[in-house]
Amino acid sequence: MIRKILLVEDDMLMREFITDYFKKEQWEVYEADNGRLALEIFEQTSVDLIVLDIMMPEMDGWSVCRRIREKSDVPIIIITARAEDDDQILGFELGADEYVTKPLSPRVLVARATTLMKRSEGTIGRDGDLLIYGDLSVNRMAHTVSVAGNTITLSPKEYDLLLFLTKHYGKVLSREYILDAVWGYEYLGDLRTVDTHIKKLRAKLGNEGRYICTVIRSGYKFEMEA
């Protein structure tokens, strides 16, 4: 199956360089050198993945990402020269799925894109309503969690927290974002609630709790070790 990618990058040499690598892996590439053209192509063409630069003329990548997320869940990889944690968190909160900083390796970018597509298509870590990460299994239909075949008893909030983390696999999630999403905007507790539940969840998952990673000064993310 040939996958279609929309590559949005205003640097012509970088765009051509990345395009060559994707074409070698049998991707069909659509190119845009600014945000407005990217949205036009997106409206006219069904693409499987978007690689989106942030600093562009006419419309920046943040605005493009926001506009696309109003209409579609297509996987988005953001590429940028800015490596600040706040930028990454903003990208993920706008709905990006991956965040790659420059200078980048086109080969690594293609590998990340391929993995993201497999995850999006449901061929990594999941089988219908069954999510599998190492020895950790989450059955979304039965609302059960097991480690190495042994059922783990979680509180409703611990289960919701685990499901939310796995849903945003690989994304850095701020404590504020987790608190609002899992507990609700009207919840009056503070951010320590998130830390406390993360600690309890890790303890119950045992060795598989290592997939819940602390990102210093940023929050948490769920990701299997490389």
CA atoms of 221 and 75, how far apart (whole Å): 18
> How much is the pLDDT for 88?
66
Average pLDDT of the segment spanning 192-218: 92
pLDDT of the residue at 83: 60
Flag whether pLDDT at 156 surpasses 90: no
- Mean pLDDT for 169-173 is 87
Say if residue 83 is in the same domain as residue 189. no
Kindly list the distances between the CA atom of residue 68 and the CA atoms of 64, 118, 185, in Å, as whole numbers in the listed order: 6, 21, 25
115 and 67 fall within a common domain: yes
Q: Is the pLDDT of residue 186 over 80?
A: no
Sequence-distant (6+) residues with CB within 8 A of 26 are 2, 3
Tokens of 139: 């059955």
Cα distance between the two ends of the chain:
27
Query: CA-to-CA distance for 32 and 6, rounded, in angstroms?
Result: 7
Percentage of residues of the chain with pLDDT beyond 90: 35
* Residue 43 CB partners (closer than 8 Å, separation 6+): none
> Mean per-residue pLDDT for 17-28?
92
Look at 27 and 111; give whichever has higher pLDDT: 27
Average pLDDT over residues 30-52: 93
One domain, residues 29 and 117: yes
CB 54 within 8 A of CB 78: yes
Same domain membership, residue 176 and residue 115: no
The parent domain of residue 214 ranges over: 130-222
Q: Does residue 225 carry a pLDDT above 70?
A: no
Q: Is the pLDDT of residue 43 over 60?
A: yes
Q: Is the peptide bond between 57 and the residue preceding it cis, with omega within 30 degrees of 0? A: no
Contact 191, 173 (CB under 8 A): no
Residue 121 has a pLDDT of 56
- Residue 49 sits in a domain whose CATH number is 3.40.50.2300
Binned at pLDDT 50, 70 and 90, residue 72 comes out as: confident
| pLDDT at residue 105 in the model | 84
pTM score > 0.85 for this model?
Answer: no
Query: Could you read off the pLDDT of 100-117 as tens digits, one per residue?
Result: 877 888 888 888 888 777
Confidence check: pLDDT of 86 > 70: no
Question: Could you tell me if 56 and 136 lie in one domain?
Answer: no
Answer yes or no: is pLDDT of 85 > 70: no
Residues 143, 190: Cα–Cα separation, whole Å:
27
Do 20 and 95 belong to one domain? Answer: yes
* Domain final position from 121, 139, 173: 121
Last residue of a domain, one of 67, 86, 121: 121
Please state the domain count of the chain: 2
More confident residue, 128 or 200: 200
- CB neighbours of 52 closer than 8 A, spacing ≥ 6? 8, 38, 61, 64, 65, 76, 77, 78, 79, 96
> Number of helices (H) and strands (E), helices first, in the chain?
8, 12
pLDDT 10s digits, 114-139 = 877 766 654 444 445 678 888 898 88
What span, in angstroms and rounded, lies between the C-alpha atoms of 121 and 204?
30
User: Same domain, yes or no, for 142 and 99?
Assistant: no
